[in-house]
Amino acid sequence: MLRKLKLRPILSWILAIYLLGGVVLYFLQKKLIFHPEPLTADYAFKYDIPFEEMRIRINEKETLSAVLFKAASPKGMVIYFHGNARNISKYASKAQQCVNRGYNVLMMDYPTYGKSTGPLTETAIYANALHMYEVARKFFPPDSIIIYGRSLGTGVAAQLAAVRDCKRLVLEAPYYNMVDLATRMAPIYPYQYMLEYKFPTDEYLPKVTAPVVIMHGTDDHTIPLASAKKLEKLLKPGDKFIPVPGADHNNLDNYPQYGKALDIALQ
């Protein structure tokens, strides 16, 4: 009886800490997932690649900012959805890789990133992705459009490819879904009820009829390879899952296998 009485305050403290941690995670989830770097409306983009800045007015309060990187003789268009940090400026080297392989690259910023404005919601991101597809269709037919997502952008890319035709879906360092990713980092909370941002790549991938290429570093400490490997089970015959041995999340460019994977993805 005495032992039980001693345990009660300890258990109460443990429960209080657990609940407090859950509350903190719930209210900070946007800051934990997204790391935007806004730009002023008059900021001048500067790239070594020929490019055109695009500003799409969504409504009176919201603007979608995008950049079209141009290849000399483009054979198609890559719609590129970038990761969770900064803005388009960080990913110009990724655009260069696609341009070098003969593709124009259309890259947007999510709401609150760069010059894009509006609410940073999963629904708004998907809606903006559809606007990018509409822009791409003005230049090329679906069989010349590759939908490409990296890291956070893989869920966005998968959703778009699930509802629009394309030549290929490319996922670089993808996650199974945001609930799975959060669970792997701190497996003590019911994230399926807590997260406002689900990005359920696993639900979208089976609806994609286009060929799929997945590439992922084997030593990725940001999005574990195991999360992406769960997606491999959802692939169709002919789809490809390409591990990059030794690569982490942000150094894939340093590995020859990554270049070979890009050659396959952007053929």
Closest by Cα among 116, 114, 115, 107 to 77: 107
Q: How many residues are recorded in the chain? A: 267
CA 267 – CA 256 distance, rounded (Å) = 17
Distance CA 198, CA 187 (A): 16
- How confident is residue 187, by pLDDT bands cut at 50, 70 and 90? confident
Per the model's pLDDT, the better-predicted residue between 93 and 209 turns out to be 209
Are 153 and 80 in contact, with CB atoms under 8 Å apart? yes
Question: Could you tell me what percent of the chain has a pLDDT over 90?
Answer: 77
Sheet with 240-244, strands from edge to edge, namely: 51-57, 63-69, 103-108, 76-81, 145-150, 168-172, 212-217, 240-244
Tell me the pLDDT tens digit for each residue of 192-202: 777 889 999 99
pTM of the model: 0.93
